[in-house]
Structure 1
């Protein structure tokens, strides 16, 4: 019997192209993973942010020489 589960949903050009889930959502009682099972994500944003920043730099929307203070929240309020 599986003791873990997971889900993956992928969008391409605003269209859902993958929607997979399976396994066990709660190993204590064997509840199956469902399409609407809620979960927590820890430390997942770091990798996504690195990809986003790299793409913004590649597209010329962000300079890697720009200091964080120049684009921080306080500079946006000016």
Structure 2
């Protein structure tokens, strides 16, 4: 372990401290995956859902005359990939 001096007290920081969270993939989107593909629909008790419903919106309709009906799909890009990656 490394030692760091903070407020004149020695604090031990494990070498793998920064790497502990990097090994998990829970809740993270991998490159090439669609962002939000496993998201649950917004509940009817949600304040935004209730507000839109009160204004006449129905599930499957667009918002406004020129609105889109299907959500925009976002795909996760690989970070730091470039020529030769």
TM-score (norm 1): 0.25
Structure having greater relative contact order (Cα 8 Å, sep ≥ 6): 2
More strand by share: 1
Looking at CA atoms only, which structure, 1 or 2, has the larger radius of gyration? 2
With normalisation by structure 2, the TM-score equals: 0.24
